[in-house]
Amino acid sequence: MSVPDAKGIRPTGTSELVLWIILLNPFRFVRQFLPFLCLFSLNLCTQLL
């Protein structure tokens, strides 16, 4: 599976753009959304308990 160069990347919508950002910067995306995921999991655990 070959990765297209910058000229081949033409997102048609916001979802495609977000998808490309996630694919190109997975660690940055995870690091940015990790606090939200932690808070969500904590809320879920407290509701279950």
24 vs 3: CA distance, rounded Å: 10
33 vs 5: CA distance, rounded Å: 27
Give the model confidence (pLDDT) of 21-48 as tens digits. Answer: 777 777 777 777 888 888 888 888 888 7
Nearest alpha carbon to residue 20 among 1, 6, 31: 6
Confidence (pLDDT) at 19:
79
Is a pLDDT exceeding 70 seen at residue 7?
no
What pTM does this model have? Answer: 0.35
| DSSP reduced 3-state for 5 | coil
Q: How confident is the model at residue 10 (pLDDT cuts 50, 70, 90)?
A: low
